[in-house]
Structure 1
């Protein structure tokens, strides 16, 4: 937190990106989850861009799994107008432990986020609310149909969080407002996090602060996009949503094709003679004389005279004539032979 005239500004953010993304295997076999693409840009870059738009200039990435791959995919932040500093964990420390490791490098107030969700949101209002209310922690909240998979919050009329419960059982649900994984934090709360110990921010630290009677503020997200991308279907859905938001009127070159939007075609890709329904095809791929629906085709793939539905192809896959692929997630470099039929395959 720094002063600009009479106004306080939050200039730092910590993003936790150490998870393995096991539910997205085999896509995460070679690529950490935050580097998986949404319209040819790593998922994590949308979050960093959101922070940059809110005035953040310095971003710490608390890394674990395949940090070298992540660093190559994300870079130094100069293209987004921020400085990115990579902080590797020798052993997993959890979200609270990752912040604790950076404590002596952080300003008195900083922003933080879990890097395993897709976030493309204006975060300035959340930062302003935190500074205005004098909260120790401000947590972004959103609503979902099934809150049992998340942490839920009980709110007072003024937005103060009085109770927080992580992944409740169905009979324990008291709210459909869930933790969206975006925080504004007073550094002083890290005094309650033990050194070099696995410690979860929302599950372990937030209850400590609420029990002490200190203010934990809820901020209800509005506008923008927040999506859980924990499963393959989520990654397809997020790509399709962003294709609709950003490219609903884009006239992609598609000789002899019948296209049902949402649709996206990456740089250097070509499609011809195909039926393409709700499909995202990333850069450097070729699709000829095929039918593809509800699918994500990653970089460098080749698909010819094939039928594909509800599937994700990892990088540099080849699907040959007469092949059928349904409900599959194919690892990088997979070759599907002529006439081969794949269904419900993960790998």
Structure 2
């Protein structure tokens, strides 16, 4: 299969198809063809699409490679299976499918033998990988029969570290699952259909080297591995792992220093006092001039590197011309036939497209002449985060807005809001400019809580919302979140679309007439009216509930104060005026201690701390005692039931069974979700839940909007208290004990996949469906293990018959996880 465009390898693949990217002294596809020949595969059908003639012109009939090659062309993309099916009339016996854009030395003979021994219709070659998140993961039983597929799972969903390599032995019988002329994919369509139909489908673990050259980092790493002798090749030089490999036709001056694994290709010249530090590749017919220094770089053929130039951890495509004293830093890619004049320099992370010219002395700090440093990944758990004005700069934010907007229709609208801080204001303004530049209208609702932004999606009928805030945990950082049209956090697949557009800088450009407007609109009043309708309860006014609310220096005070006044609540406001400099404020435990003192001093019914962005809430009772997050959920449910409201309750699998049992007794129907809030929102929205709660101080009421909402939670709690003759502390005492013991285990990032595989195969593991973690035990003796999305730790939460039993189980599971992680 050689039809791939290789968009993630741009600019290398703008003027060549991905299989023709050079690895060492040959295109990647040549390495694959020679591997096939070494294992006795001599009749080869090559499927082509993008720039296919380049491949056919290079390999022609295959005679020079000891092969017989024929070609098929896709007029339109047909998917991996659809493209192979074009040759179904020629494939009348078991055949091998292999990608032309991977580097491998795996034993294909062993794969063919395994396919025959198992009497399989499809045998997938699998490779153990340390990070399976970017691969299709395959789960097999002890006999190698495939029992499940996972497409690019999150860490919490990983069941195996065996990745699908895209190499298959297939029986012609699989063609009955591939309709002619339709777009069909092996991994997404054919294999799942075989699995569900019970057809023989096996996996074979590869022995040897395999890597998917899907990104520029992977491309450079594959070259490094090749010249370092980590992968076996079947032609050309025998690369040395401890020193240079120089083609006999190359000329290297005796004063040149070649350090480590270095390859110097055919007809190349390295002049006096130059230095090449490996691993490095110098392609054919390339000139490295006097005193130039090249370190850990991949330089393709016919390149000129000028006198005194310095290249470090970069990629240079064919026919580039780098002048005297040019400086190129790490993670830079120079496209084909580009020219960098004398004294110019390229900052880290820049991509220069083919056939560009950089004038003398120019410092290039942006891709395509002007773009900031590229990042490996821009999304962390739930959004984009970075140091304000250093990582999350106005330039970065404008590109981020353009990237998101490029995934939305021209002429569509989005809501934008922010917290009260200056960094958030700066980032949001740049973000809005980027959105407008790609034809997306922005409805700016100003400095308002995130729940108001989520609510406004439906009101304004937008494609989504974005919220910018200074992190309440790190005043130097800014977070940017995105939602879909329902106000639900965007899914990982949507994040990857934005990220791919951002990294490739493949922004849509519109004419001046289509540049969108930025409209200032009011949203708070509509949200307030909706909130009052949802919790309408005349008893609130009659009972004269008194509440002390700490607004954490955020924007919720401006939204909530008038709602409490209209409800007749006697409220005492603390830190209700927004602070615009993002100082970070007090820690939550300090706020709760202070809140408890104020509540008892003024004789309030209870007190609440509302998070600065309006997502989370913490409570104290009338005696100033802190109320745990699980009990807060129970108080809300108790109040809803008192008003005759019940229905689906969405809670993650990390919430203890004791709480879901209590909810069931009240008439609610618990629905388990994954541990992350985004999945909780998606499930609760789809299941029309009455309430959703993550067990970590975030509750949502999907009839208002699907996201966490501390303000709505507070008003529901006030309503519940107005219907009760008991004090808050008495109501808490009447509830069951929801005991949950917490532990954390440090686990290195590279050990995560292996640990998830071990935990998921443990005999004491309980199967609780599609979750992003692992469960042990059941009933009231139950522990869950969840990998943290942002830190190299696994979280352990255990419940039991009382605190002692819960702590004991937590210790036991902590020990199990720690032992498995070693």
1:65 maps onto 2:50 in alignment: yes
Secondary structure of the structure 2 residue equivalent to 1:118: strand
1:106 maps onto 2:108 in alignment: no
Taking the aligned partners of 1:318 and 1:98, their CA distance within structure 2 comes to 38
Q: Deviations over 1:184-242 (max 9, x none)?
A: 0011111011221111101111011111112211111112x311211222222212211
Paired residue for 2:341? Answer: 337
Paired residue for 2:27? Answer: 42
Q: Do the aligned residues in 1 keep the contact of 2:245 with 2:261 (CA within 8 Å)?
A: no
1:277 maps onto 2:259 in alignment: no
Q: CA deviation at 1:54?
A: 1.9
Paired residue for 1:12? Answer: none
Greater shift, 19-28 or 67-76, is seen at 67-76
1:157-306 equivalences under 5 Å are 157-223=142-208, 225-245=209-229, 246-248=238-240, 252=246, 253-255=251-253, 256-272=255-271, 273-278=273-278, 279-288=280-289, 289-304=291-306, 305-306=308-309
1:22 maps onto 2:7 in alignment: yes
Taking the aligned partners of 2:57 and 2:315, their CA distance within structure 1 comes to 23
Secondary structure of the structure 2 residue equivalent to 1:71: helix
Paired residue for 2:311? Answer: 308
1:100-179 equivalences under 5 Å are 100-179=85-164
Taking the aligned partners of 2:57 and 2:313, their CA distance within structure 1 comes to 29
**Given the two structures, how large is their TM-score scaled by the length of structure 1?**
0.92
Q: Do the aligned residues in 1 keep the contact of 2:292 with 2:305 (CA within 8 Å)?
A: yes
Q: Do the aligned residues in 1 keep the contact of 2:244 with 2:258 (CA within 8 Å)?
A: no
Taking the aligned partners of 1:193 and 1:251, their CA distance within structure 2 comes to 46
Q: CA deviation at 1:251?
A: 5.5
Q: CA deviation at 1:62?
A: 0.8
Taking the aligned partners of 2:281 and 2:294, their CA distance within structure 1 comes to 10
Secondary structure of the structure 2 residue equivalent to 1:183: strand
Larger Rg: 1 or 2? 2
Secondary structure of the structure 2 residue equivalent to 1:28: coil
Whose RCO is larger (CA < 8 A, sep 6+)? 1
Q: CA deviation at 1:79?
A: 2.1
* Unmatched tracts of structure 1, length 5 or more: 1-15
**Given the two structures, how large is their TM-score scaled by the length of structure 2?**
0.40
Q: Do the aligned residues in 2 keep the contact of 1:111 with 1:183 (CA within 8 Å)?
A: yes
Where is the strand percentage greater, Structure 1 or Structure 2? Answer: 1
Give the CA RMSD over aligned residues.
Answer: 1.4
Cα 1:165–1:329 change in 2 (3 A) is same
Secondary structure of the structure 2 residue equivalent to 1:283: coil
Secondary structure of the structure 1 residue equivalent to 2:210: strand
Taking the aligned partners of 1:242 and 1:100, their CA distance within structure 2 comes to 33
Q: Do the aligned residues in 2 keep the contact of 1:113 with 1:181 (CA within 8 Å)?
A: yes
Paired residue for 1:7? Answer: none
Q: Do the aligned residues in 2 keep the contact of 1:306 with 1:323 (CA within 8 Å)?
A: yes
Greater shift, 133-142 or 161-170, is seen at 161-170
Structure 1 stretches of 4+ moved >4 Å: none
Q: Do the aligned residues in 2 keep the contact of 1:97 with 1:198 (CA within 8 Å)?
A: yes
Where is the helix percentage greater, Structure 1 or Structure 2? Answer: 2
Q: CA deviation at 1:170?
A: 2.6
Taking the aligned partners of 1:341 and 1:293, their CA distance within structure 2 comes to 16
Q: Do the aligned residues in 2 keep the contact of 1:263 with 1:280 (CA within 8 Å)?
A: yes
1:80 maps onto 2:58 in alignment: no
Q: CA deviation at 1:49?
A: 1.5
Taking the aligned partners of 1:205 and 1:267, their CA distance within structure 2 comes to 44
Of the three residues 328, 333, 345, the one matched with 2:332 is: 328
Taking the aligned partners of 1:73 and 1:168, their CA distance within structure 2 comes to 38
Paired residue for 2:351? Answer: 346
Q: CA deviation at 1:115?
A: 2.2
* Unmatched tracts of structure 2, length 5 or more: 230-237, 353-822
